Amino acid sequence: MKNKKNALLTLAVLVMISLLSTAVLARGNNNGMGQSGRGGIQGPQKNTKLLCDQNQDGMGRFGRGTIQGPQRDAKLLCDQNQDKNSRRQKSMKGSNGSKMHKGKKGGSRDGMRKYQAEFRTWLEKNYPQEFKSVTDAKSRSDMQAVTRRYMPIFMAEKRGHSDMAELLKKDLDLKDQRDALVKEINATDDTTAKAALIKELSTVVSKRFDIVVSKKKVRYNNLKKRITELEKEVEKQEVALDKLESNKDAEVKQRLKELVEPEVKLEW
């Protein structure tokens, strides 16, 4: 009879614990929904946060040694989430605690800054007035216009194509003369003056044509020179391949010797 009473008492205690667990989980779910709505937590992180809140609430009521069922699963998920966050933070930091820079992006940015600095130095030396306009430029479009105008000359000099750089400079001057003459022609109503300006414009256009042809010749000669160099390299590679194929037996024998009979090094 005494054992039967003890069994009933134990069963009543278990039922009470189950009811309390259900109430705690329901209240923890409501609290978690409110926090996720205010904090903007979405997706798997929201679910993990709800389970963590439930687990913490249950820990406070039942103690650390009595986690069962859903609360135990919640604790496991909470610990996993914390471990993932910790590993993610460590992966984003270097050994000294600072964030690591990505090599390619950082290198490309540094190279671009260096290139721009070289261009500004070159511009200040060769075209000081234009350099001043760049430094005093209030809009990005003004700076881009100056860069487009003089960057081809700078690149030609940087690559060692001095002949192309000189042609580009002359062509730039002729373009300025052309634009100025066209502006004057459109602004005047004097027939005699307009005819003289048109004749002068014809001379400028003719000079520009010669410059354009000269630039094409330079590009053609550079391409021809490059083709000649490639042909020499092809011939060199063909000789090396023929030599390698003719020495196949000797090369195979030497490689076998290296694999089977490694050289004994004397340790002093």
Q: Which residue has the higher pLDDT, 148 or 60?
A: 148
- Is pLDDT above 70 for 72? no
Q: Would you state the pLDDT for residue 111?
A: 80
Q: Which helix (H) or strand (E) holds 36?
A: helix 2-39
Q: Which residues contact 149 (CB under 8 A, 6 or more apart)?
A: 130, 172
Weakest-pLDDT range from 49-58, 188-197, 220-229: 49-58
- Report the C-alpha gap between 8 and 166 in whole angstroms: 105
The confidence band for 67, taking pLDDT boundaries of 50, 70 and 90, is very low
- Is pLDDT above 50 for 18? yes
Q: Would you state the pLDDT for residue 175?
A: 94
For the chain, the structural domain boundaries read: 2-38+46-84, 108-160
Q: Which residue has the higher pLDDT, 143 or 163?
A: 163
Q: Would you state the pLDDT for residue 257?
A: 86
- Judge contact between 57 and 27, C-beta under 8 A: yes
Q: Using one digit for the tens of pLDDT, what is the confidence trace for 205-238?
A: 999 999 999 999 999 999 999 999 999 999 999 9
What are the φ/ψ torsions at residue 93 (nearest 5 degrees)? -120, 150
- Is pLDDT above 90 for 262? no
- Give me the half-sphere count of Cα atoms (radius 13 Å) on the Cβ side of residue 102: 4
- Judge contact between 188 and 197, C-beta under 8 A: yes
Whole-prediction pTM: 0.50
CB burial string 207-230: b at 16+ within 10 A, e below: bbeebeebbeebeeeeeeeeeeee
Find, among 67, 62, 71, the residue nearest to 28 by Cα: 71
Residue type, 76: L
Q: Which residue has the higher pLDDT, 119 or 18?
A: 119
Mean pLDDT in residue range 44-70: 48
Q: Which residues contact 204 (CB under 8 A, 6 or more apart)?
A: 174, 177, 178, 181
Q: Using one digit for the tens of pLDDT, what is the confidence trace for 94-145?
A: 444 444 444 556 667 888 888 888 888 998 898 888 888 777 776 778 788 8
- CA dihedral of 189, 191, 197, 200, whole degrees rounded to 10: 170
- CA dihedral of 193, 197, 200, 201, whole degrees rounded to 10: -160
Residue with tokens 């604790």: 75
Q: Which residue has the higher pLDDT, 130 or 43?
A: 130
In Å, the largest CA–CA distance within the chain is 135
Mean pLDDT in residue range 35-39: 44
Q: Return mean pLDDT, the chain.
A: 75
Mean pLDDT in residue range 44-68: 48
- Report the C-alpha gap between 170 and 159 in whole angstroms: 19
